[in-house]
Amino acid sequence: MEERRYYGLDALRGAMMMLGIVLHAAMLYLAAPPPAMPIVTDRNNSVVFDAVFAFIHSFRMPTFFVLAGLFTSLLVEKRGRAGAYKDRARRVLAPLAAAIVTLLPVTGLLLIDFWLSVRFGTHDLIPRLEDVKLLGAEMAAKMPPGGRPPDDPTLGHLWFLYYLCYFYLLIPVCRYLATQSMKIGARLQRWRASPFLWLAFALTTSATLWPYHGGQVHEGFIFLMPHLPSLVYYGSFFVLGYLFHHHVDVLKAPARNVFASAPLAVTLFLVATHASQLDNDARGASAALHAGAVLANGLCTWAMIYFFLGLAQRFFDRASPWIQYVSQSSYWVYLVHMPLVALAGWWLVQFDLPAMLKFLLVCAFAALLAFLSFHYWVQKTWLGVFLHGRRLDLDWPWRRVCEPQT
């Protein structure tokens, strides 16, 4: 890639992180949680949020890991392998360790409070141990065969930072693959620019989905003990993203075909949702249904990735105060949003309100406090240095004109 800042892809990375607010708020109001996620949801729920959750989950983290691989390649090119490892240790490993001992316990407590409030009608900040044990037993009984017990140590919403640390260990492998692929770059040129290349990626992804119920990744990855199928699944996106930096024609096809990819992505999402439902209903009794589910979900995920890559490059690849603010604030917003979502959801359990109203209140509360805290207490302080390597001085995006960055 030429030497410039990729505003569109940077904005897309930030947007994928911020969608965590919507995704996790929707989880509180699912009408029928996936079989591999036996969670308790609010009595005021709606199938609308099942659709919202399934839609976002189909592309969000795969897209994020593609971008993480691409930006890691840019970082290695700029600072070298040793410099990249030092930077990632400061910007990813250190914040992960800090969040584990600060944000994670608070998040866990508030989620347990929410579940107990829904299940037993209690509303205590410090729950009774007997209630926690009973809830854990009920959730464990609903787990599908081979699922992790709910009391296994978990990293919650911080799991993606944990997995990134593993994927950074693949940098030497990625560099080797990039070097070898560049040697045959002329022979790959026609395929790199093809609008159908995503089909090859989709087939690869489909193969990695085989271990999952319904062909959907709803299990295993949030726990402290690494989940091999999840490492393979998400790691494949990271590796491909790393290679995309060295084969920029791959990124040009989504931008050229963004309008065609939108209806294709939506259609494949509907097909994948139906195929997963059939596979889940069969409870592993039909290999053909499972194969259909993993294939449909692999195709859906890459159609979505291509659409959002194309959308970001076609319409958002420019200097903008909004894009800059989203890209710079997204890290902090993602780190702190989960305890805020859980707090708002827990408080609202006691009220008999429409699920949509509760969802909007949770999203508004979490987003407002996350952005206000970033703006006034993070970006200009030692926390900004800790997360970004420097202090920022961003004004609200509606009050300023963005200066192009290099």
Kindly give, in sequence order, each residue whose CB lies less than 8 Å from that of residue 238, ignoring residues fewer than 6 positions away: 65, 66, 68, 69, 72, 164, 167, 170
Which amino acid is it at 346? W
Radius of gyration of the CA atoms of the chain, in A: 21
Q: What is the pLDDT of residues 22-65, one digit of tens each?
A: 999 999 999 999 888 888 999 999 999 999 999 999 999 999 99
Residue 118 burial (CB < 10 Å; 0-12/13-18/19+)? buried
pLDDT at 402: 52
- Tell me how far CA of residue 80 lies from CA of 9, 71, 94, 174, 324, in angstroms: 22, 13, 20, 13, 26
> What pLDDT does 135 receive?
86
Q: List, for the chain, all residue ranges whose pLDDT scores fall below the cut of 50.
A: 1-2, 406
Please report where in the chains the tokens 């970033």 appear, as a residue: 374
d(CA 131, CA 112): 10
CA distance 178 to 393: 37
Instruction: Please report the pLDDT score of residue 35 as a whole number.
Output: 84
Q: What is the pLDDT of residue 1?
A: 45
274-284 pLDDT, tens per residue? 999 999 998 88
Q: Which pLDDT score is estimated for 406?
A: 44
Instruction: Classify residue 3 by burial, with Cβ atoms within 10 Å: 0-12, 13-18, 19+.
Output: exposed
